[in-house]
Structure 1
């Protein structure tokens, strides 16, 4: 049969796995799709290639899809996110000299204790006239918002007590090695590569800051979704099948080998395989440690585009851009996430489909919670923020007022 071609842009990261595996393992072809993948090195290029029609869809940091729809930093373009490619999966890696100042041993830091020690170092550096500098992958990225959320909650003022700059994920270890930055918040395998090179030490993972935090998404121009909804639904099904394949322990080695290829991540197999299996090496030469839910790609309707997650990202955009809250912008931000398309694509498949499109974020503690679904049985696990706050998407101004 003839296949419909769809071009998808991506960055060389482990969480680009689903479109890569959809192509390589035949899930796209099973849905009548010929998936072509376009590799870039910066999120700005991935976005621009999508907006100017060089690609049809993109593996993209979730906040950038919302910022693009709202016209932050460029003319607004309507966007649609019908599928979430993964939750969490990032880490905060410190340059070795800084890590030795704030960490006692070779285990992950506690967000509060580590934050207190980092604050003391940061303030001393301010007094000495040379602020600590952290690298994130884009201004509009979950990496930036997770890092800022943690820093602010422990009493470190982003942009005042520390500097935050942009660095491309594949060059993050190089920036640490050159002494240009003191820490990074990036996705795998680039934290692990910094560790294996001996230039960094993983201090926190973002799952410690917001368990189940939204990370990468499938982003499309809204006009593409409107023009060919059937193609979009087939792509969602292909990615969903790829997600089930990705988390199967029996496929991990094969998946890591595929992702490591030069045309994809162009990186060693070992750190990729570790990330897939939730085992992370924190210090050069040390044994990897298991970090449950380090990456989260499939269970608990992980791929469902919750509008409340988009609302939280918008709240952080308001917070850190210094712009006033706008009910219209909040609604527009939420409308970028398209649970209606996800439900339509997977209806009749047996996949759990949440009946609600929004929820209270950060409200599930150590116990799991049954959630309403129109299809299948849906159990949601712990999703707390490290400071114990919960986010109500229906009251963003009150939430913003409560933040430090």
Structure 2
């Protein structure tokens, strides 16, 4: 259907594509991590969308985790990469490598979960955990930690948790979930980075009590009956940004037509992924291959096909666990990017005041995205700035509202927060105002990744 969709004037036909300016560089290398949300890059390769754009792309699986991805983008070994939404921001601010990297598009919404081992779940159940509830809060974990403090006193041993990178969505989601129940992540726990595929083995070995990671590395533990996925990041923040496509700013400037060609191919793949659950099933078979995620089809199906395996033996309906194109999931909202800067301040990763608006406008590229979106028929939201936490499918676990115009207040509004920069210092360099506009919940591309088929619109 997507080919027909594009040919009928809602995007580009192959003939129309040939009328675009030729890419400056056609032989490219794009790095990715073995996670299901690398799917848009894999599908762009396997379904021929890169080839349609005149590109010869080597899609390379990175074995060195997110630090390896980042180093190879900065060095130029990778022309583009799958990236955590916070990574290009952090690199541009000098806290994760040092280079002006840019986020060209969002690859997906949601896709992560917090998974705990059976031992700690057993302790939490003594304090009221009901792991079948949705969403599960960290209240029982807080009670367990408080009791542990009383028993151990000055010899308290923090609980150990894993995430994938210090500026990852996973780190911020795990902290957000804990802190919403009064847990102080840097005092009550230790949180350390591990490459995603190593999470299950570290949990089973007892090196960590739990972790936050993308799929299929939560399902792996649940299927082994070694733990449960207590909460997804959709449960923490409905339709939150997860991964982006990143590249060096100087590469983009030097190769604008190549950049747009890559973006068109990946955007077509994202639309294809949300067009039908049948397409998702085909995607699962590609992802299962050794050169991609290298996981059993049945494991990948647990999250990619509209369900999610929270607990052993029980598939729960979760159609939005992976959303690639619907509800503007591909659009790089400035406001989404700025949220990550607030978390860098909240958790003490930034030690100098910066203009958050100027920073995110240097890193995120909705301007370039809008050009490409019009070429392939991707629907655009009314603004690059919006509030989160105010709409039916856009809420936070704790009921907070994220308004970019109140970004500084937001950082200091939490009961648990640990910034190293004063509110007054940040206020001095953040005197701007933006106009926010709320997009309606829409699913223009198909039922996959959509809350309900009533939202699916066919053009």
Question: Is TM-score (shorter-chain normalized) higher than 0.5?
Answer: yes
The structural deviation recorded for 1:322 is: 5.3
User: What is the rounded CA distance, in whole Å, between the counterparts of 1:186 and 1:363 in structure 2?
Assistant: 26
Aligned: 1:390 with 2:393: no
Structure 1 residues 222 and 132: alpha-carbon distance in aligned structure 2, compared to 1, 3 A threshold: same
User: What is the rounded CA distance, in whole Å, between the counterparts of 1:144 and 1:301 in structure 2?
Assistant: 24
Q: How many residues align?
A: 384
User: What is the rounded CA distance, in whole Å, between the counterparts of 1:186 and 1:25 in structure 2?
Assistant: 27
Matches within 5 A, 1:4-403: 4-41=26-63, 42-74=65-97, 76-103=98-125, 107-111=132-136, 114-127=137-150, 128=152, 129-247=156-274, 248-284=276-312, 286-321=313-348, 323-324=350-351, 326-364=353-391, 366=392, 382-403=393-414
The structural deviation recorded for 1:105 is: 5.1
Question: What is the SS of the residue equivalent to 2:103?
Answer: strand
Structure with the larger strand share: 1
The structural deviation recorded for 1:348 is: 4.3
The structural deviation recorded for 1:84 is: 0.5
- Asked whether the 8 Å contact 1:308–1:334 carries over to 2, the reply is no
Structure 1 residues 35 and 332: alpha-carbon distance in aligned structure 2, compared to 1, 3 A threshold: same
Gaps (5+ residues) in structure 2? 1-17, 416-459
- Asked whether the 8 Å contact 1:10–1:39 carries over to 2, the reply is yes
- Asked whether the 8 Å contact 2:331–2:366 carries over to 1, the reply is yes
**RMSD in angstroms over aligned alpha carbons?**
1.8
The structural deviation recorded for 1:329 is: 4.8
User: What is the rounded CA distance, in whole Å, between the counterparts of 1:397 and 1:12 in structure 2?
Assistant: 35
User: What is the rounded CA distance, in whole Å, between the counterparts of 2:66 and 2:258 in structure 1?
Assistant: 24
The structural deviation recorded for 1:397 is: 1.2
Question: What is the SS of the residue equivalent to 1:243?
Answer: helix
Gaps (5+ residues) in structure 1? 367-381
Question: What is the SS of the residue equivalent to 1:165?
Answer: strand
User: What is the rounded CA distance, in whole Å, between the counterparts of 1:303 and 1:260 in structure 2?
Assistant: 23
Question: What is the SS of the residue equivalent to 1:354?
Answer: coil
User: What is the rounded CA distance, in whole Å, between the counterparts of 1:400 and 1:173 in structure 2?
Assistant: 33
User: What is the rounded CA distance, in whole Å, between the counterparts of 2:245 and 2:375 in structure 1?
Assistant: 22
Structure 1 residues 322 and 276: alpha-carbon distance in aligned structure 2, compared to 1, 3 A threshold: closer
* 1:101-144, Cα deviation, whole Å (9 max, x unpaired): 33555525534xx3111101122334432221110000010000
- Asked whether the 8 Å contact 2:91–2:100 carries over to 1, the reply is yes
- Asked whether the 8 Å contact 1:108–1:282 carries over to 2, the reply is no
User: What is the rounded CA distance, in whole Å, between the counterparts of 1:34 and 1:291 in structure 2?
Assistant: 36
The structural deviation recorded for 1:326 is: 2.5
